[in-house]
């Protein structure tokens, strides 16, 4: 009765909820409640696409930071 997954009325997760889940899972801090919601109401393809996009943006951000630091260091 008090299951937090059932309180969503079986609505799929919103874009922001999915993005939060992808970011939390990428850093290993995903909560059990959100994971259960994602597995019961989310579409795997949406999470795969968001995961790939997040990985690309994360890698490009790290690349940009390294290039900036090397440039400022004069290397």
| pLDDT band at residue 67 using 50, 70 and 90 as cut-offs | very high
Chain segment 22-61, per-residue pLDDT in tens: 999 888 898 889 888 888 988 889 999 999 999 999 999 9
Whole-number pLDDT of residue 61:
97
Summarised one tens digit per residue, pLDDT across range 17-32 is 999 999 998 888 988 8
Look at the pTM and tell me if it is higher than 0.85.
Answer: no
Give me the pLDDT at residue 73, please: 92
62 within 8 A of 26, measured Cβ to Cβ: no
CB atoms near residue 28 (< 10 Å) = 6
For residue 21, the number of C-alpha atoms closer than 13 Å in the C-beta half-sphere is: 24
70 in Cβ contact with 41 (< 8 Å) = no
| Separation between Cα atoms, residue 37 and residue 55, nearest integer Å | 22
Asked if residues 48 and 23 have their Cβ atoms less than 8 Å apart, the reply is no
Count CB atoms within 10 A of the CB of residue 17.
17
The pLDDT, as a whole number, for residue 1 is: 44
């Amino acid at each position: 009765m008090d299951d937090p997954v059932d309180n969503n009325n079986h609505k799929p997760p919103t874009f922001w909820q999915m993005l939060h889940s992808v970011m939390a899972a990428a850093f290993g801090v995903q909560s059990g409640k959100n994971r259960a919601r994602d597995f019961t109401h989310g579409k795997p393809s949406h999470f795969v696409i968001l995961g790939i996009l997040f990985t690309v943006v994360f890698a490009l951000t790290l690349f940009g930071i390294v290039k900036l630091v090397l440039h400022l260091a004069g290397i």
